[in-house]
Structure 1
């Protein structure tokens, strides 16, 4: 059958909202009109896509299987329309993350020759950013990618960034010229959110036997570092070249043997030509700034280094 994209869009929104009324509101149509679109889609496919629940609807098994390919079909259709209209807007790029400030990298790239203009946004986490990519709301995203990723998305490694330990000035190890990660085993890892939500810090704690951790609210870099400084047992991790505030209560100490590396990637839906110029600019800056140097005998990554840009 030939899919009617209006029907497919109605299905996708209803699946994401778990409610026909909210999906109809998002499409600026009546709930009756949305129900008719979905009924026609189900009739064409010969199977039910939703079941009623006490509070709304949820996809059936067929609906679950149809959802991701349907999202990709809509994203491809939106890209086709944009290409036909020769839309010249800059690529929309999401930068997600907490304290690791991905815009530092993109700012350095944007300052170089040949870099395209960009429109930046701020997603909450990798799943929400991936969903925005599949819907076509954004063209690309920049952050730390870790599996599993939804089908239809492509990512390319663009930077490996060394990470330092940031400690309270009263920490027993604060005056060391360098630290091995295992020396922090008895310290308290301080995080700006629940540890299980911060994949890199979670894996670091598991790999190097960090037994204690505590968490606070992410109120920005200054507040986070003030929380580190407040307890002589605390430490956290920050990219080595992040300019820290002039605060006598904190120390930044390099980590060695091995040096943890934070892997930045660009993530996009395959076949989006808007991403090509940005990939080229990232690759050029990676070559100039030696962003992709990695020695497995001296460095640590939570996952394989992957394919560079």
Structure 2
């Protein structure tokens, strides 16, 4: 029996998501195409792999037995492809989280790496980047990782970066030397997109009771800051060392008790890596060690993903 790897991958992704629409989206295929692949696989195997009903999707007993061997099959296939892939091509790395300026950290890492030339791209968000990784369109990515991640991907924490509150100079709290996050509770959190798509900002708002939000369109840092300066009741959260425009009518105020930390990670396929990826990962570890990027205290700092 010869298995079609596209069908096996469709099964594994659906088993992980337990939702045909989400699984199809991560594979960048239509839901109809995904369903056809799974139906052909079930026909080949002579058994149903999923129970489909009004309450969602669940694995059958046969599906449960098939899942782990199917995952190992995909891992072996990806490793086989990687073994004969060109070793001299550049390392393709996407970044996301652009308003938080991932290039500042990645540039410091790139100075240290002995990996082949990096080719940098820009992913829209974490879901689009994970899809590109799983399709082999890129080799690694750099940004803020949060669960759930699809199976087959791994990440390494690189930097925990303190976040400041950025305010219009007309804001009532703009002259404070430092602020506790709870002092922003009555302000308006200025978000560059729908808050449910911005995991860090969403968690901050929920944790510290910020109920008022204003959402815009991510047109880059300058329009984002202009929208902040024009509304004295708004505040933004940005990296503490991100330089503001010299003529800005804004002020960056440190947050304390606790200090929010934005976590940057290197994201890559597990078990199927570009030969230059170990050098990039080593440079990330070296930068973190020498610059103390991972220093933090649970009593002093706030990490959204911490229990």
- Give the TM bin, normalised by the shorter chain: 0.7 to 0.9
Kindly indicate whether the alpha-carbon contact (under 8 Å) linking 1:179 and 1:255 is maintained by their aligned counterparts in 2.
yes
- Asked whether 1:17 is paired with 2:19, we answer no
Cα deviation for residue 103 of structure 1 reads 1.6
Cα deviation for residue 270 of structure 1 reads 1.2
Q: Which residue in 2 is equivalent to 1:277?
A: 279
Alpha-carbon distance change, 145 to 39 in structure 1, aligned in 2, over 3 angstroms: closer
Give the Cα separation in 2 of the matches to 1:142 and 1:304.
20
Give the one of 276, 299, 303 matched to 1:301.
303
SS at the partner of 2:157? strand
Give the Cα separation in 2 of the matches to 1:126 and 1:6.
23
Q: Which residue in 2 is equivalent to 1:125?
A: 125
Show CA shifts across 1:97-153 (max 9, x none).
Answer: 141121211111112253542222222222222222222222222111111122222
Cα deviation for residue 260 of structure 1 reads 0.7
- Asked whether 1:250 is paired with 2:250, we answer yes
Cα deviation for residue 273 of structure 1 reads 3.8
Give the Cα separation in 2 of the matches to 1:213 and 1:68.
43
Cα deviation for residue 220 of structure 1 reads 0.5
Kindly indicate whether the alpha-carbon contact (under 8 Å) linking 1:71 and 1:134 is maintained by their aligned counterparts in 2.
no
SS at the partner of 1:99? helix
Alpha-carbon distance change, 290 to 115 in structure 1, aligned in 2, over 3 angstroms: farther
Show CA shifts across 1:274-306 (max 9, x none).
Answer: 22111101001111211111011211111239x
Alpha-carbon distance change, 79 to 96 in structure 1, aligned in 2, over 3 angstroms: farther
Give the alignment's TM-score, normalised by structure 2: 0.80
Cα deviation for residue 19 of structure 1 reads 3.9
Give the Cα separation in 1 of the matches to 2:106 and 2:252.
24
Cα deviation for residue 48 of structure 1 reads 6.1
Q: Which residue in 1 is equivalent to 2:234?
A: 234
Q: Which residue in 1 is equivalent to 2:16?
A: none
Aligned positions of 1:1-309 closer than 5 A: 1-5=1-5, 8=8, 15=24, 16-20=29-33, 41-47=41-47, 73=73, 76-112=76-112, 114-274=114-274, 275-304=277-306
Please tell me the root mean square deviation across aligned C-alpha atoms, in Å: 3.4
Show CA shifts across 1:71-98 (max 9, x none).
Answer: 8855753442232244321222221114
Kindly indicate whether the alpha-carbon contact (under 8 Å) linking 2:203 and 2:304 is maintained by their aligned counterparts in 1.
yes
Q: Any unmatched runs of 5+ in structure 2?
A: 14-22, 51-56
Alpha-carbon distance change, 6 to 162 in structure 1, aligned in 2, over 3 angstroms: closer
Greater mean alpha carbon deviation, residues 266-275 or residues 237-246? 266-275
SS at the partner of 1:150? coil
Cα deviation for residue 45 of structure 1 reads 1.6
Give the alignment's TM-score, normalised by structure 1: 0.80
Alpha-carbon distance change, 10 to 159 in structure 1, aligned in 2, over 3 angstroms: closer
Kindly indicate whether the alpha-carbon contact (under 8 Å) linking 1:75 and 1:135 is maintained by their aligned counterparts in 2.
no
